[in-house]
Chains A and B, each alone.
Chain A
Amino acid sequence: QVLLVESGGGVVQPGGSLTLSCTASGFNFSAYGLHWVRQAPGMGLEWMAFIRYDGAATHYVDSVKGRFTISRDNSNNRLFLQMNNLRADDTAVFYCTKDAGTSGNYYFDSWGQGTLVTVSS
């Protein structure tokens, strides 16, 4: 079955950087688009970033453009989110999700368990 396991969360100071990872198994990793979705404490879901199956195209929500970078390593079935210039309002659980298609604009058919990022001094 599809398994997505996030790692890399933790506590970081405002203005700091952090890189999240997601290790995938149970499906043909290089054939599907992938996303990062976040959920602030007690709040709803917010889509953050998408990367196409081959890594050749990415898209971000406006609030993180220029600060976050999504990337993937299809040789090792891993997804990444590099986060720079972190702010207190970036505090959230970050989920790795699998797109049901290759190039975006499909639903999210599998989710990881999430990793918590806390931005605090």
Chain B
Amino acid sequence: EIVMTQSPATLSVSPGERATLSCRASQSVSRNLAWYQQKPGQAPRLLIYSASTRATGVPGRFSGSGSGTEFTLTVSSLQSEDFAIYYCQQYNYWYTFGQGTKLEIK
């Protein structure tokens, strides 16, 4: 099983600031990496796939990077609606999710 590790567990950032979330895979997943956003009481929503491609309708302030075992999700100029939990997921060999990073208002 490929283990996905996200850091930090919680990230406190002020609105308008930049947030950087990390995701590490226990072995290479190439660029088969997705990011999802989940708000309280809602289903997850696809943000990024293929490590850096934004899903339809996702604002340009969301960007993804990385390949192999190290990946980053960056949210530039945080808006109030961006405070949520973010999960990375590898789909290179079946599927595993990271444990999530909670992005909270500082």
Contact = CB atoms under 8 A, between A and B. Distances in A.
Interface of A: 35, 44-47, 50, 59, 95, 100, 104-114
A118 to B, nearest CB: 17
B91 A106 contact: yes
A111 B44 contact: yes
B43 A111 contact: yes
Instruction: Tell me whether chain B's interface is mostly helix, strand or loop, or mixed.
Output: loop
Contacts, number: 54
Contacts of B95: 35, 47, 50
A27 to B, nearest CB: 13
B83 interface: no
The range of chain B's interface size is 20 to 34
B44 A45 contact: yes
Nearest to B94: A59
A107 B49 contact: yes
A110 B100 CA distance: 19
Interface in B82-106: 87, 89, 91-100
Contact of A114 (B36, B43, B96): B43
A21 B92 CA distance: 27
A105 B2 CA distance: 13
Given A95-B43, A107-B34, A109-B55, A47 B96 contact: yes
B43 A108 contact: no
